[in-house]
């Protein structure tokens, strides 16, 4: 789907890394041609009046578990990096190649190659061939690779290919079949629980191995105070270590599980209030690089079960932008930082020319009313399943228009 004619969006608040500036943006041949205060439409351009609303890069959602176009379009997501935990796993070049084409023409899907065959943590998959087939990174999936020798070889191989490794940070020897974080809430509820230190142990080992291999390492979700401290220390040493988080882990604590509602059954499990506050601090001080939806729609057959038997996951694509905009209203971060977390940084990790309003970058754009109020209602969600932990919560921020490569998308 190619852009038929140039497009100029005028009277917008342009969200750039340097700040929000009033102006216009012109795109042609699928890329941003110019932007700023002195940009004007040329003869033959299509034109749109933004009426003073935010014009931002389309969101780049790093680490989703399902391709869910209606939900992505509602949430302003133009690119999604798909985790390898599919059926079958993305551990062969043919599977990666199919996924890399699956979103066309109205969504960029960037597959993350399975680190090991079958995601079993034992034998490395064909990483170089999967990169050639379209993989933009390597992921361990929902599991931690327990064998340090395998993890070191993975990181060394990834470093040679200049691919980021997206790691799950929980020591499986400690977590076992746990569905909650050890503490007062889990004890009162009688849920199988694991200590929060399971995350710190996994992070510490993987950072040490990444330093040895000189590899780029991204922890898809860091959720504990100790985990953030380890990542921050690695960054201060100059290591190419980054981390992400999902909205549930900075908006909710384990108190949200008190009624056994399985929509709050997540992996990693919800943490203590102290860890939640540490997450907010880590977002504010730059320790957190990416906020992702963790989009994992689960139907009734997976969620309408006892808490300990329910599958983890949340449908997060539609609520991602609105929840993160809460951080602006709460004074945690500003608007440019929002789109660093949601677009610029994940695009950089994936090595794609998107995620920022800059000349020569892909014209993946979102027109946003940051103040538009709405109620999150699982019964009205566009996603293939409605397992949101934010059901009936008030939100602000709606996507008014979305463009992929300069071509308008329906929502």
CATH code assigned at 259: 3.20.20.140
Q: Measured in whole angstroms, how far is the alpha carbon of residue 265 from the centre of its chain?
A: 18
Task: Confirm whether 66 is domain-assigned.
Answer: yes
Q: Which helix (H) or strand (E) holds 7?
A: strand 7-16
Task: Confirm whether 387 is domain-assigned.
Answer: no
Q: What percent of the chain has pLDDT over 70?
A: 100
Section 377-391 average pLDDT: 94
Section 110-135 average pLDDT: 98
The confidence score (pLDDT) of residue 111 equals 98
- Are 370 and 54 contacting, i.e. CB atoms less than 8 angstroms apart? yes
Q: How far apart are CA 141 and CA 149, in angstroms?
A: 18
Could you tell me the pLDDT band of residue 2, with boundaries at 50, 70 and 90? confident
Task: Confirm whether 24 is domain-assigned.
Answer: no
Q: How far apart are CA 91 and CA 84, in angstroms?
A: 7
Task: Kindly give the pairing relationship between strand 290-291 and strand 365-375.
Answer: unpaired
Q: Is the pLDDT of residue 411 over 60?
A: no
Task: Confirm whether 20 is domain-assigned.
Answer: no
Q: Is 51 exposed, middle or buried (0-12, 13-18, 19+ CB in 10 A)?
A: exposed
- Are 202 and 217 contacting, i.e. CB atoms less than 8 angstroms apart? no
Could you tell me the pLDDT band of residue 410, with boundaries at 50, 70 and 90? confident
- Are 154 and 124 contacting, i.e. CB atoms less than 8 angstroms apart? yes
Q: What is the pLDDT of residues 135-183, one digit of tens each?
A: 999 999 999 999 999 999 999 999 999 999 999 999 999 999 999 999 9
Task: Confirm whether 396 is domain-assigned.
Answer: no
Task: Confirm whether 3 is domain-assigned.
Answer: no
Q: How far apart are CA 386 and CA 22, in angstroms?
A: 37
Q: What is the pLDDT of residues 293-344, one digit of tens each?
A: 999 999 999 999 999 999 999 999 999 999 999 999 999 999 999 999 999 9
Distance of CA 88 to CAs 85, 93, 95, 167, 384, Å?
Answer: 8, 12, 8, 19, 20
The pTM is what?
0.96
> Which candidate, 236, 223, 346, places its Cα nearest to that of 291?
346
The confidence score (pLDDT) of residue 239 equals 98
3-class DSSP assignment, residue 249: helix
Q: How far apart are CA 194 and CA 236, in angstroms?
A: 29
Of the two residues 359 and 1, the one the predictor is more confident about is 359
Task: Confirm whether 358 is domain-assigned.
Answer: no
- Count of domains for the chain: 1
Per-residue HEC secondary structure of 178-199 comes to: CCEECCHHHHHHCCCEECCHHH
Task: Confirm whether 155 is domain-assigned.
Answer: yes
Q: What is the pLDDT of residues 343-353, one digit of tens each?
A: 999 999 999 99
| Boundaries of domain holding 268 | 59-350
Could you tell me the pLDDT band of residue 397, with boundaries at 50, 70 and 90? very high
């Amino acid at each position: 789907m190619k852009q038929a004619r140039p497009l100029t969006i005028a009277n917008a608040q342009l969200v750039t890394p340097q700040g929000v500036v009033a102006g216009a943006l012109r795109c042609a041949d699928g890329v941003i041609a110019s932007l700023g205060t002195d940009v004007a439409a040329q003869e033959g351009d299509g034109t749109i009046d933004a009426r003073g609303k935010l014009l931002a890069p389309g969101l780049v959602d790093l680490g989703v578990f399902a391709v869910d176009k209606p939900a992505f379009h509602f949430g302003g997501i133009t690119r999604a990096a798909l985790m390898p935990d599919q059926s079958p796993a993305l551990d062969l070049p043919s599977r990666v190649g199919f996924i890399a084409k699956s979103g066309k023409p109205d969504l960029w899907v960037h597959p993350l190659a399975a680190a090991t065959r079958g995601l079993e943590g034992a034998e490395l998959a064909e990483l170089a061939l999967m990169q050639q087939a379209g993989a933009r990174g390597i992921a361990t999936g929902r599991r931690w690779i327990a064998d340090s020798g395998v993890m070191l070889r993975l990181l060394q191989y990834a470093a040679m290919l200049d691919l980021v490794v997206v790691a799950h940070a929980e020591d499986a020897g400690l977590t076992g079949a746990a569905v909650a974080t050890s503490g007062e809430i889990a004890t009162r509820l009688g849920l199988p629980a694991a200590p929060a230190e399971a995350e710190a142990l996994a992070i510490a080992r993987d950072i040490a191995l990444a330093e040895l291999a000189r590899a780029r390492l991204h922890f898809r979700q860091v959720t504990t105070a100790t985990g953030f401290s380890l990542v921050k220390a690695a960054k201060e040493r100059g290591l190419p270590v980054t981390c992400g988080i999902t909205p549930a882990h900075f908006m909710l604590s384990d108190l949200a599980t008190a009624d056994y509602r399985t929509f709050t059954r997540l992996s990693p499990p919800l943490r203590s209030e102290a860890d939640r506050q540490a997450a907010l601090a880590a977002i504010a001080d730059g320790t957190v690089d990416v906020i992702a939806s963790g989009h994992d729609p689960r139907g009734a057959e997976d969620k309408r079960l006892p808490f300990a038997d329910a599958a983890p996951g949340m449908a997060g694509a539609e609520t991602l932008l609105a929840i993160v905009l809460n951080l602006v209203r709460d004074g945690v971060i500003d608007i440019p930082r929002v789109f660093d977390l949601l677009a610029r940084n994940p695009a950089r990790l994936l090595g794609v020319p998107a995620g920022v309003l800059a000349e020569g970058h892909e014209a993946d754009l979102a027109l946003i009313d940051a103040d538009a109020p709405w109620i999150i209602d699982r019964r009205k969600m566009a996603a293939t399943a409605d397992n949101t932990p934010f059901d009936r919560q008030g939100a602000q921020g709606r996507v008014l228009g979305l463009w992929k490569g300069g071509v308008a998308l329906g929502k």
